[in-house]
């Protein structure tokens, strides 16, 4: 699959798309284990936030689940040629009102794993024509299905780095 071109996404997408240096499907598949293994290997930090006002590790994982659902909904809608402009979301509000602190870490990990495994069936079934389709956000930004696929993978890679540099490095783990 070709990388998304800059005209396929707004500038914010580059932050995540640039996280993918190889095969996007390899990243999507490897993240199922690599990201969750990092979380589980440091489960003692589930309630740790690296700075005031930052999410705990459990909240970060919950954010990953919510964001995957939202981005995959967008990807599906646009792949199916839905012309409805889709709204953005305020990630901090989602985390604030989700009560991830009251959830079990193992349940959140399983939720991420099962969600991603299910989504991989959708991702692998996308045709070139579907990957080329574009959709619009309510703010007028346009993004292709291909770019969304890269954003989904890049989002996890981004937060994997945050885990390694902000959570684990600061605790010496």
Q: Is the pLDDT confidence value at 55 over 90?
A: yes
Given this model, what pLDDT does residue 169 score?
Answer: 82
Give the closest residue to 70 by CA, choosing from 93, 99, 36: 93
Given this model, what pLDDT does residue 173 score?
Answer: 64
Separation between Cα atoms, residue 170 and residue 154, nearest integer Å: 23
Query: The CATH number of 6-171 is which of 1.10.10.10, 1.10.472.10, 3.40.50.2300, 1.20.120.450?
Result: 1.20.120.450
* pLDDT (tens digit per residue) in 59-77: 999 999 999 999 999 999 9
Give the lowest-confidence range in 7-11, 33-37, 76-80, 166-170. Answer: 166-170
Give the closest residue to 136 by CA, choosing from 76, 88, 73, 85: 85
Per-residue pLDDT band at 35 (split at 50, 70, 90): very high
Q: For the chain, which residues make up each domain, given as ranges?
A: 6-171
* pLDDT (tens digit per residue) in 102-120: 999 999 999 999 999 999 9
Given this model, what pLDDT does residue 97 score?
Answer: 98
Separation between Cα atoms, residue 48 and residue 67, nearest integer Å: 21
Separation between Cα atoms, residue 133 and residue 83, nearest integer Å: 10
């Amino acid at each position: 699959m070709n990388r998304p071109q800059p005209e396929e996404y707004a500038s914010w997408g580059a932050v995540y798309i640039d996280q993918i240096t190889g095969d996007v499907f390899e990243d999507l598949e490897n993240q199922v284990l690599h990201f969750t293994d990092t979380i589980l290997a440091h489960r003692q930090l589930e309630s740790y936030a690296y700075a005031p006002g930052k999410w705990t590790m459990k909240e970060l994982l919950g954010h990953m689940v919510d964001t995957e659902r939202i981005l995959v909904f967008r990807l599906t809608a646009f792949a199916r040629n839905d012309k409805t402009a889709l709204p953005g979301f305020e990630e901090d509000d989602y985390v604030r009102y989700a009560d991830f602190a009251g959830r079990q870490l193992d349940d959140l990990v399983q939720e991420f794993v099962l969600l991603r495994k299910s989504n991989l069936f959708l991702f692998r079934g996308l045709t070139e024509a579907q990957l080329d389709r574009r959709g619009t956000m309510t703010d007028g930004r346009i993004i292709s299905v291909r770019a969304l696929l890269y954003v989904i993978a890049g989002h996890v890679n981004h937060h994997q780095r945050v885990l390694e540099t902000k959570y684990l490095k600061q605790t010496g783990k």
